[in-house]
């Protein structure tokens, strides 16, 4: 089981830690289930870039990035080398600790949790 630590670029939002996360769930699903604010306009099907996050630790505990995901990350606001789409970051077996930073969501219009 994994521990997911969410931090936020917006320093007014307190960090959230979710423990005992089972494999097979995406970072987006974990955020939704734990009241973590993360926009997701396409409903988690890799058709937009609104669930863009930064993987600060634990990238090896997630499914590899696909070409389609890379294409959508290029459309995200302020993409970085550690950028991923939360809907595509599925937790793999034997994951331990994953640290996620959620970019400032204030410039994204659309569905939010």
* Mean pLDDT, range 53-59, rounded to an integer: 97
Residue 30 belongs to a domain: yes
d(CA 75, CA 88): 15
98 within domain boundaries:
yes
Range of the domain at 87: 2-102
**42 three-state secondary structure:** coil
According to DSSP H, which parts of 4-111 are helical? 27-33, 67-73
Give percent above pLDDT 90 in the chain. Answer: 81
Residue 108 lies in a domain: no
d(CA 68, CA 45): 11
Question: Do the domain assignments include residue 73?
Answer: yes
Q: Are 44 and 28 in contact, with CB atoms under 8 Å apart? A: yes
8 Å CB contact between 24 and 90: yes
- Please, is 94 exposed, middle or buried when counting C-beta atoms within 10 Å of its C-beta (0-12, 13-18, 19+)? exposed
Residue-wise pLDDT for 57-112, tens only, equals: 999 999 999 999 999 999 998 999 999 999 999 999 888 999 999 999 877 765 54
Q: Is there a contact between 112 and 51 (Cβ–Cβ < 8 Å)?
A: no
CATH of the domain at 53: 3.10.20.30
Q: Give the count of domains, the chain.
A: 1
Mean pLDDT, the chain, as a whole number? 92
Share of the chain above pLDDT 70, in %: 95
Q: Is residue 110 part of a domain?
A: no
DSSP 21: E
Asked if residue 26 belongs to a domain, the reply is yes
Q: pTM (2 decimals)?
A: 0.91
């Amino acid at each position: 089981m994994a521990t997911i630590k969410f931090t936020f670029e917006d320093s007014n939002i307190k960090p959230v830690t979710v423990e005992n996360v089972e494999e097979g769930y995406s970072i987006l699903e974990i955020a939704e289930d734990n009241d973590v604010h993360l926009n997701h306009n396409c409903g988690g099907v890799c058709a937009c870039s609104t669930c863009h996050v930064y993987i600060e630790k634990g990238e090896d505990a997630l499914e590899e990035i696909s070409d389609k995901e890379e294409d959508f990350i290029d459309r995200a606001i302020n993409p970085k080398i550690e950028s991923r789409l939360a809907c595509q970051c599925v937790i793999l077996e034997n994951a331990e600790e994953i640290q996620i930073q959620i970019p400032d969501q204030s410039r994204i219009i659309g569905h939010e949790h």
